[in-house]
Chains A and B, each alone.
Chain A
Amino acid sequence: MEGIAKKFSSLLEDAALEIRADGKAGSGVVLVMQSLASMAIADKSLHVQEWPFFSSARRGAPIRGYLRISRRPLEQSSPITEPQISVMMDEGVARAVDFAVGVPPDGIYVLNTTLSPEEAAKKYKLTGRVYTIDGNALGEHYLKKPLGNISVLALLTAIIPLFKPEEAMQKFVGVLKKRRLPDAVIDANMNLFEASLGKSAFADVACAGTDDHSLAGFAGYGELMPGAQSRLRLSRTNLTSAYARTGFRLHFEDPNNLCNGCGHCITNCPENIIQFIPDPTNGVRVTGAEIASYCKLCRECIEVCPKELFSEAPLQESM
């Protein structure tokens, strides 16, 4: 811990302490980064820069939050490419973006996951110090929602030597009050914050290969100018299956040929990914959906199917 404190204080003097957080829209990335920024800005000698990066993101889309803290005036305004601390707020987002890209070998990872630090390092191929906390279970207990952001915030205030967890809690109350939340919710958040302190585990690991998290250079728009490309290149490039509820996916099963060709799932699928074949008696027969690439698990097909052929199943991820 002393090593980290020393490194951070020299970073704050000479350059900037840079933190990057990856999460889904709605998983609380912005709240965590804003809270950290408001805690840091209370110290008059610190310069703070905080902004979330999302394009036209809707609920479930991967978003990124950036935070720079320094004792020198901050003159950069570029995205953070080599953060000292990389935060992963939601395991589902790890399927869509590489949260470890650009983190130096002595960097710190803060992961909201059920895995132990060693398991997580093996799974995501990390090198550095890995902190893990099971924020979703804590959130489920205190807020009745699987939200890990408060636990991650508590862990971050404990790691970053600028903050003291007790003072941080007072500042955090202020942030929540600004958002006009009911008192009961603020109390539940406070209890969650207190309970999260000391629930984390960490390990120093070295599991990354040399090419695992290299920064991909800009490959250009292709032979043609943007907008003049073929339609095939333009459409179907954004894989949206990471929007689905973390740990679950859609499941289609029709072993007894129950599909009656009513077409309700086809007309009501927002993503237009239901696969079907023409059928002489019923018109169409549904054979499945492009679940792995595009399904956001909005549950419309589960609700409208009269034969209940669609269901939600736990995601089996290969380690």
Chain B
Amino acid sequence: MAKIIDIIQRESCFQPGSTLCAGCMESIAFQNIGKITDNGKKTIFGLGTFCGEVSTLQFPNPVAWGRGESTPEDWTKSFGILHHVFESAPTITEAIRDTVDVLSSVGAIKSDIQTISMSGDGGALAIGLRSLLHTINRQARIVSFVLVNEVFANTGFQYSPSASLGSDTSTTPATELHPGNMQPPLDYLGLAVNAGAGLVAQVSPAFPKYFLKVVETALECKGTAVIFIPSPCITGWKFADGETVELARLSCETGFFPCFLKKKGQPAEIKFVERDAAKRPPVEHFMGPQQRFQHLVRKNKETGQFEVRPGKEAVVEEIRTWIQTKLDALYRMA
């Protein structure tokens, strides 16, 4: 395991110049992943369609990818990108893995190659769930990153199966009758664990030390490693500039996206979140700064604290129950 101070001095393959929103969490995740993968092995990325793909790979200039000043012949610094449609990121990466294995077995490739797939939560959990689950089921030796921002951010913030209860998206708008999305989100952590993944994790770059540790562990994993990265979407969740990292931290501490790590055959590790609801920060702290929860939570003008809107207590109580149920299920694996 490399030290964090050494990792942050490495060169990331994700360069400035992307057209992502200012303060995008996907961008923060990318550049950290880019630094971790600069570890002396060649990396091949299989990308599905998502915000981070369309904003960084524009014809004819892949504006935001590149590493260093050395020549393309430098094996350890070079990397490859293969782009496919929404749902195919894990499958196409599995194909890269198989090709690498075949070439290694006949001696055409001498050094090891890391294969990483990246997709958004719409691509991996809505359109491409079968692709992700079957890749896990076949035990392909890849690392699959899923950037969960709870909406189809690329196409206009429509509902995705991971959207939190009560969130206002463009296809589940909050009205007088409906308090936003009332479909309980997909239990993607449980699905990935039960499908037999070698490593399942949910970790945010807001905890850099833990994030780097988990990704390094995943790169050494023998089976399929699936890492879900909660990515606060500044335009879709509608919060102020500069709050991305703070919200990512709160999303873990309030239980919306608990930090979770489970290796196959070992008990799960849950961090930065208390099982006891009384010890956690209230959900209003996470929901308050975001406009997609504005119909449920408001800011008290006198005290400056976030509070539940009168008449919406039942919905917020339902959200609390959902979080508690989810955490209990995760703690049963610990």
Contacts and interface: CB of A to CB of B under 8 A. Distances in A.
The prevalent SS among residues of A at the interface is: loop
Interface in A273-319: 273, 276, 278, 283-284, 290, 293-294, 296-300, 302-304
Given A266-B8, A272-B12, A283-B5, A59 B32 contact: no
Which among A231, A245, A294 has the highest number of chain B CB atoms within 10 Å?
A231
B235 A59 contact: yes
Contacts of B244: 298, 300
A268 B205 contact: yes
Contacts of B69: 232
B267 interface: no
Given A231-B66, A234-B66, A303-B246, A294 B5 contact: no
Contact of A270 (B5, B28, B61, B208): B28
B208 A299 contact: no
B22 interface: yes
Nearest to A289: B16
A227 interface: yes
Interface residues of A, number: 49
Given A56-B54, A268-B28, A273 B16 contact: yes
B245 A300 contact: yes
A244 to B, nearest CB: 7
A267 B63 contact: no
Which among A56, A244, A276 has the highest number of chain B CB atoms within 10 Å?
A56
A276 B32 CA distance: 16
A268 B32 CA distance: 9
Contact of B58 (A55, A278, A299): A55
The prevalent SS among residues of B at the interface is: loop
B103 interface: no
A298 B17 contact: no
A60 B8 contact: no
A278 B61 contact: no
Contact of A298 (B61, B208, B241): B241
B60 A272 contact: no
Given A56-B54, A267-B208, A240 B242 contact: no
B24 interface: yes
Nearest to A54: B19
A272 B66 contact: no
B286 interface: no
A41 interface: no
Contact of B5 (A235, A244, A284): A284
Given A230-B72, A263-B8, A270-B20, A298 B59 contact: no
Given A56-B54, A56-B58, A232-B66, A303 B22 contact: no
Contact of A56 (B14, B19, B34, B72): B19
Nearest to A277: B9
Contacts of B25: 270
Given A268-B245, A298-B241, A58 B19 contact: yes
Contacts of A303: 242-243, 245-246
Contacts of A284: 5, 8-9
Interface in A237-260: 237-240, 243-245
Contacts of A300: 23, 28, 242, 244-245
B95 interface: no
Given A268-B245, A272-B12, A284-B8, A240 B27 contact: no
A58 B235 contact: yes
B16 A294 contact: yes
Interface in B237-288: 241-246
B289 to A, nearest CB: 12
B168 to A, nearest CB: 13
A235 B17 CA distance: 8
B72 to A, nearest CB: 6
B294 interface: no
Nearest to A294: B16
A263 B208 contact: yes
A304 B15 contact: no
Contact of B23 (A263, A273, A293, A296): A296
B130 to A, nearest CB: 27
A264 B4 CA distance: 11
B241 A235 contact: no
B291 interface: no
Nearest to A244: B22
A299 B62 contact: no
B323 interface: no
12 contacts: A58-B20, A226-B60, A234-B62, A237-B61, A263-B208, A267-B8, A268-B206, A271-B18, A272-B16, A299-B23, A299-B241, A300-B244
Given A58-B21, A236-B15, A237-B17, 5 more contacts: A56-B54, A237-B63, A238-B19, A266-B8, A303-B242
Give 8 nearest A-B pairs by CB, closest first: A235-B66, A299-B242, A298-B23, A270-B27, A296-B22, A298-B22, A226-B60, A294-B16
